[in-house]
A and B are shown apart, each in its own frame.
Chain A
Amino acid sequence: MEAAEKKPRKMFKKILIANRGEIAVRVIRACREMGISTIAVYSEVDRASLHVRKADEAYPIGPAPAAESYLRADKILDVAHRSGAEAIHPGYGFLSENAKFAQACADAGIKFIGPTPESMEMMGSKTRARQHMEKAGIPFVPGTARGLASPEEAERVAEQVGYPVMLKAAAGGGGKGMRLVRTREELRSGLDSARSEAQRSFGDSEVYIEKAIVNPRHIEMQILADEHGNTVWLGERECSIQRRHQKVLEEAPSPIVDADMRRRMGEVAVRVARAANYTNAGTIEFLVDQQKNFYFLEMNTRLQVEHPVTELITGLDLVHLQIRIASGEKLPFQQSDIGIRGHAIECRIYAEDPDNNYFPSPGKIDVLLQPSGPGIRRDSGMYEGWRVPMDYDPLLAKLIGFGTDREQAIMRLQRALYEYFVAGIKTNISLFRRILRDDDFRAGKLDTGFLDRMLARPDGGPAARAPEPRIAAIAAGVFAVLDPAGAGANNGRAPAPQPAISKWKQEGRVEALR
């Protein structure tokens, strides 16, 4: 409003997107909406990828392995220079949390759309983050951040934080060197074995104690911070549904978070961000116990895969805001302006085979039928005829359902999943049909063990209106008459068109090997 107020930067004219897949398409769309030209980069196997088709300019950056293309800061900065990009959006993954890359951008005079290298550095290491955050009074899982000097000290600390406790290798990771101790009697032997395992696995026997959170929830808080000292929280996302520590389905708001808990989590998240001098979009992850106590886990210094659920319940566009913040604008609202309305659930559609232990399933997409209609948002990087490369993350698309309440969001997603069909590769679409009709899911009873427990039970199958096998029999015959391209329908008939012939060749090859 004040004419004298000087804007440090003007809105960018050109942005380079240092990513691929659905998130590159997502960012390109935001840029197009804002009248900003987009520059895509692509590896040798991504020439035909959707993000290259959607961008204004596109340049090759090397071979398929990410280490030789999407992780090559030098090549990406070279493209940025040659194309005249003023800013780089890193998406998620790849270089998005690489402080050295953010620094290299700054050195090259190109704006990195994200936090400063200093903030990234601080939050990048768990121990360093913990030291800083403890100073700021952020709640952590109770325990010692230092190694235990003696069994007596272990007993004292365990008594303080309360059983059950977790013994963790200080140098540990990936579940190694971790021991659950339920009672005082188990502590000494647990300590001995945790120490020797830590020594064997990491060459360092240092072990510390944390209170064991049994069946925790994983809930995270979205924040936005501009470069003028304003930081706001935008509500939580429930991310407890995971497989092999990979998120599968996320929702906002969380079924267990009420307005008071949301405000308390939000305020802690803002304190974390301020303590890190954080700017742009970020996420603070919390572990939540069964009494709804929440503990700081880590901060993700980037846009999250699951950001759309927050966009739907707040009505904000996080990528627009990221770009506006990076261009030097102030946040266009205050905390009190932000409201939460409705419920959103995201399904991550992965190229993996549910019938074969969720093995990855790259390959050509032969058929793609995509849902739309009320309350459905689809952020996708795939198209019919595209060959999904084997070199990257298996995320193909995100299907997000939005409704007045959780029940309606679930119903809309179920309807959309009924319409969704992908052939040629395997996807986990059927997994979501199962999750969404699960009684515990419907009741909002979630924790990080939910999915493993659900998958350990036999699949009850769809409750209502299961079609009869005879319909499939009739369909197979009708296909044989009307559309005989299929391998199975080809018996004794005229030679089928090209794709079917190659299938027959494949079949012949498989047969010959038997």
Chain B
Amino acid sequence: MVYDVVVSGKLHRLELEKTEAAWKCRLDGREVHVDAVVPRRDVLSLLVDGHAYEIKREQTATDLHMWVGSTRFAVEIRDPRSLQARKGGGQDDKGPRKIVAPMPGRIVRLLVGEQAEVEAGQGIVVVEAMKMQNEIKSPKKGTVKKILAAAGAAVNAGDVLAIVE
């Protein structure tokens, strides 16, 4: 099996094969001696050329991270077939941008109305969670095209609250 693995923005080619006796592993063309045990879900005991690592996997809806000890690496395993599709999805300042709730909570109040002109970093809506009120800010300068949040409503992480164009 060949994997294209992007770690902290840098692409690595990983060739990995598990035979009955041992692992065969080449990283960026170099042979590496690997042994691995998964003692429980999301935890990996990894031996690489005799060095021992405890790796923890952290997954969210959008991200995959590997914790090597207490250092966190952003990781993406790319399927060459969907590479092009993913590249097209980048975010820039042109076009509409969605403002999403970063955590579950309750809408306390709206700070602007539809059609309001806003600056980048200007507060759009206040969400309360865990006794803390948090201002969710506009990612860009533009016009508030749509407000999808209502004061008092409960929201989940990732819910779209407003659209700025």
Contacts and interface: CB of A to CB of B under 8 A. Distances in A.
Contacts of A361: 103
B44 interface: yes
The listed residue with most B CB atoms (<10 A of its CB), out of A417, A418, A421, is A421
Given A417-B70, A418-B70, A483 B75 contact: no
A469 B38 contact: no
B66 A472 contact: yes
Nearest to A417: B70
B66 A423 contact: no
Is chain B's binding surface mostly helix, strand, loop or mixed? strand
B62 A507 contact: yes
Contact of A473 (B7, B43, B157): B7
Contact of A488 (B75, B132, B158, B160): B75
A478 B1 contact: no
Interface in A106-142: none
Contacts of A479: 38, 44, 55, 57, 66
B5 to A, nearest CB: 4
A197 to B, nearest CB: 22
B103 A474 contact: no
Interface in A406-460: 417-418, 421, 423, 430, 433
Nearest to A361: B103
B10 interface: yes
Contact of B103 (A363, A391, A466, A485): A363
A14 B145 CA distance: 59
A394 B3 contact: no
A510 interface: yes
B70 A475 contact: no
Interface in A489-514: 489, 491-492, 503, 506-507, 509-511, 513-514
B41 A483 contact: yes
Contacts of A469: 7-8, 10, 12, 73
A462 interface: yes
Contacts of A369: 43, 56
Contact of B64 (A351, A471, A488): A488
Contact of A477 (B10, B16, B89, B102): B16
A476 interface: yes
A359 B132 CA distance: 8
Contact of B34 (A392, A478, A491): A478
Contacts of B76: 488
A470 interface: yes
A482 B36 contact: yes
B122 interface: no
B42 interface: yes
B16 A367 contact: no
B79 interface: yes
10 contacts: A367-B41, A392-B130, A421-B67, A430-B70, A469-B7, A471-B53, A475-B55, A476-B64, A487-B59, A488-B76
Contacts of B134: 357, 359-360
B3 A476 contact: yes
B68 A467 contact: yes
A141 to B, nearest CB: 29
A489 B68 contact: no
Given A362-B104, A474-B25, A476-B75, A433 B16 contact: no
A113 to B, nearest CB: 24
Interface string B6-47: 011010101010100001010110001010101001111010
Given A367-B58, A423-B58, A480-B16, 7 more contacts: A352-B130, A394-B130, A423-B42, A472-B8, A477-B25, A488-B64, A509-B158
Contacts of B14: 473-474, 476-477
A353 interface: yes
Sorted nearest first, the 4 A-B pairs with minimum C-beta distance are A488-B64, A491-B79, A472-B73, A360-B130
Given A359-B103, A390-B104, A478 B70 contact: no
B43 A477 contact: no
Q: How large is the interface on A (under 10, 10 to 19, 20 to 34, 35 or more residues)?
A: 35 or more
Given A361-B103, A473-B12, A507-B61, A393 B70 contact: no
B140 interface: no
A473 B70 contact: no
B129 interface: yes
A338 interface: no
A362 B129 contact: yes
B103 A467 contact: no
Interface string B69-110: 111110111110110000001000000001000111110000
B46 A471 contact: yes
A486 B3 CA distance: 15
Interface in B111-160: 129-132, 134, 157-158, 160
Nearest to A350: B130
A442 B25 CA distance: 42
B52 to A, nearest CB: 11
Contact of A483 (B28, B42, B67, B69): B42
B27 A467 contact: no
B42 A477 contact: no
Residue from A361, A476, A488 whose CB has the most chain B CB atoms within 10 Å: A476
Contacts of B18: 481-482
Interface string A206-220: 000000000000000
Contact of A481 (B1, B67, B104, B105): B1
B42 A366 contact: yes
A356 interface: yes
